[in-house]
Structure 1
Amino acid sequence: MKKIKVILSGGGTGGHIYPAIAIANELKSRYPNAEFLFVGAKDRMEMDKVPEAGYKIEGLWISGLQRSLTIKNLSFPFKVIGSLIKARGIIKRFKPDVAIGTGGYASGPLLQVAASSNIPSVIQEQNSFPGITNKLLASKVDKICVAYDGLERFFPSEKIVKTGNPVRQDLLTIDTKREQALEHFSLSKEKKTLLVLGGSLGARRINQLIEKELDFIQTHNVQVIWQCGKLYFEKYKLYDHTKNVQVHAFIKDMDLAYAAADIIISRAGAISVSELSIVGKPVIFIPSPNVAEDHQTKNAMAYVKENAAMLIKESDLDVDFENKFTQLIMSPERCEELGENIKTMALVDATKHIVDEVEKLLK
């Protein structure tokens, strides 16, 4: 069997890291003797998560440009130049057959060097509104795998393939795990379950909302699985096992959490949105406004326009939350409608389709 070398870059958040790992795993299943190398940003979470998944990683001294005026921006040009030099050395030493970028600070320098070295290169763009790095790389790479329609506004149309975003395959069977999930989380069958997700680090505004609205939520006889994130766990753990609430810094068995949920509150990061499409439960999206180009709102709106989810902006939470939550909890028909509609938007074989495109470049 042909031995290939694959270099991947994606990091900063789980939304960039886990798709890269999923793509590597699929390639490994097709090419068992393939050699893989990840490139990430030093001191970011990929430096831990990638080795945990069994892959080697090297770090670049790179970070994002701060949107506000700050002294940190003075070092940005030096970081870019240094990262390009190191990426060139990595490419020259590793000699990859293909380069894959899933977003994050390090993917820019790596893909730039790979493409300029005539190495077949692929971008996996997760959002409905791409960031500046992928816009700049678009003219240089060979293929751009996307999850949304309409990205011809940003990328050359002949390079675009709609594949969807890689997601965990254990989500495909959550319909069979309801009883197991209720037992796992020690939940009552007689109550509805609200699952609150703010990402692995947590979402400050969502946590503030849940703390404020716990008594209101209890009036609807609802139990809560609340992932507050590791940055906020010390602050909110006092609510754990009070008022039918469970507080978690991080939920490892996400398939069971999804299976137990009747209603979900979530950020609208690209991977979260893709997972929730497969889960097929009613969702209230609360997009983070603190992201480039407000892309989470754009992600969520793509679903709201199809009557597949509800959206509340952070600035409207105090006014709209109780009303919209009541609409859902009091209307099984509305919950079913949203669940069915969001499921029609799922692209369940995204990872396989992305790797199919990679294989075309390897031939």
Structure 2
Amino acid sequence: MKILISGGGTGGHIYPALALIKEIKKQDPNALFLYIGTETGLEKKIVEKEGIPFKSIHITGFKRKLSFENVKTILRFLKGVQDSKKMIKSFQPDIVIGTGGFVCGPVVYAAAKLKVPTIIHEQNSVPGLTNKFLSKYVDNVAICFQEATPFFPKEKVSLTGNPRATEVVQHVPVKKAELGLNPNKKTVMIVGGSRGARPINDACVKALQSFKKKDYQVLYITGEVHYDKVVEEVEKVGNPPNVIIKPFLHNMPDYLKNIDLIVARAGATTLSEITALGVPSILIPSPYVTNNHQEKNARALEQNGAAIVIVEPELSGEVLLHEIDGIIGNTVKWNDMSSKSLELGIPDASSRLYRLIKKLIKK
């Protein structure tokens, strides 16, 4: 089986692709892969590090406002389609899969025009421009949120979930003691992403002294960029013994199984991981993402009772503390949110996608 995958721009498009590749290799050790991305994108470094054959095309995304740059983008798209067709004809894949980002546009479109079976994977509750465009041409649209269904041709949609959910369920958890945490206490993780988020850090620092009086403990991930500044602020007020502060944790899924509540952004990958494990969440969506999709993702969990959403303008140390206490200190509410989170989770996402791939190849 030969599989061509394209996805790039952010880790949210790349890591699901890598998780899917791992699942396919497990099911079919003889499977061959080719990954097409951009030369300057995050995907090149990450994919090549995994030892997966990588080729690139030159493409940029459309501007949402009228711009001469969009004319250039159209020309790059047409050139990208030509280049992609050459790569597809050379590799001769059985199927082409797009996991998001503008690089998928010319690659998946070229495959559809060459009559190669195609799938796009939409991680968010509201799709971006590229996947909306491609949905007219592909054979199937794999989604992670039921809320995404109305944006695509209904007959093409399959609810598969995010392959990262499967990875997190299969991970062996790191013991609390290895992080200096008490294994007998409930644990709240506060994290603003790999780079951190200043508004979340500000609120957390202001809540520090109140955390000191609580029965639960806090694993606080500042983000590497903000760590020194946070430590400077913490030194002024003191670091409570029940708050462990780290700049970053590699392999975050290793830690999630020991978390009782997470305070985080609302990226699609994060939500797929926490729902697969049934972790209740307080979500503080980033307002700086395209189409405000993080808040829309977060609202999908909130509407189903799995999360509480705090938008940045309403975030403060007092508000954060109130919401944490309201979940951790209320067993009935915690149990309800955990079960609602599990209901949304799709822990077998990788195998669902694999079955869909095999089904399309056999057609």
Of 183-192 and 12-21, deviating more is: 183-192
Distance 2:167 2:2 in 1: 28
Q: 1:41–1:105: 8 Å Cα contact kept in structure 2?
A: no
Q: 2:211–2:240: 8 Å Cα contact kept in structure 1?
A: no
Q: 2:282–2:309: 8 Å Cα contact kept in structure 1?
A: yes
Distance 1:87 1:345 in 2: 36
Change in Cα spacing, 1:76 to 1:5, as seen in structure 2 (3 Å) is same
> Secondary structure of 1:141's partner?
coil
Distance 1:44 1:246 in 2: 34
Of 41-50 and 77-86, deviating more is: 77-86
Q: Equivalent residues in 2 for 1:159-198 (5 A)?
A: 159-169=156-166, 171-172=168-169, 177=173, 181-189=175-183, 191-198=185-192
Distance 2:153 2:71 in 1: 33
What's 1:95 paired with? 92
Distance 1:104 1:202 in 2: 22
Amino acid across the alignment from 1:119: V
Of 71-80 and 130-139, deviating more is: 71-80
Which of 106, 118, 127 pairs up with 1:109?
106
Which of 282, 304, 308 pairs up with 2:302?
304
Q: Runs of 5+ in structure 2 lacking a partner?
A: none
What is the TM-score of this pair, normalised by structure 1?
Answer: 0.88
Of 140-149 and 183-192, deviating more is: 183-192
Change in Cα spacing, 1:54 to 1:71, as seen in structure 2 (3 Å) is same
Tell me if 1:282 matches 2:285.
no
Distance 1:341 1:275 in 2: 14
Q: CA RMSD in A?
A: 2.7
Distance 2:104 2:333 in 1: 41
Which of 190, 207, 219 pairs up with 1:225?
219
Which of 17, 25, 29 pairs up with 1:28?
25
Tell me if 1:211 matches 2:205.
yes
Distance 1:112 1:91 in 2: 11
Change in Cα spacing, 1:340 to 1:79, as seen in structure 2 (3 Å) is same
Q: Equivalent residues in 2 for 1:46-125 (5 A)?
A: 46-66=43-63, 76-125=73-122
Amino acid across the alignment from 2:280: P
Deviation at 1:218, TM superposition (A): 2.9
Amino acid across the alignment from 2:159: K
> Secondary structure of 2:195's partner?
coil
Distance 1:65 1:169 in 2: 33
Deviation at 1:38, TM superposition (A): 0.6
Deviation at 1:11, TM superposition (A): 1.9
Change in Cα spacing, 1:111 to 1:335, as seen in structure 2 (3 Å) is same
> Secondary structure of 1:103's partner?
coil
Amino acid across the alignment from 1:197: V
Change in Cα spacing, 1:216 to 1:69, as seen in structure 2 (3 Å) is farther
Change in Cα spacing, 1:248 to 1:95, as seen in structure 2 (3 Å) is farther
Deviation at 1:131, TM superposition (A): 0.8
Q: Could you list the per-position Cα deviations for residues 115-167 of structure 1 after superposition, in whole angstroms to 9, with x for gaps in the alignment?
A: 11111100111111111110000010001111222434211111111111112
Q: State the identity as a percent.
A: 34
Deviation at 1:291, TM superposition (A): 1.9
Deviation at 1:111, TM superposition (A): 0.8
Tell me if 1:338 matches 2:332.
no
Which of 259, 262, 286 pairs up with 1:261?
259
What is the TM-score of this pair, normalised by structure 2?
Answer: 0.88
Change in Cα spacing, 1:249 to 1:54, as seen in structure 2 (3 Å) is farther
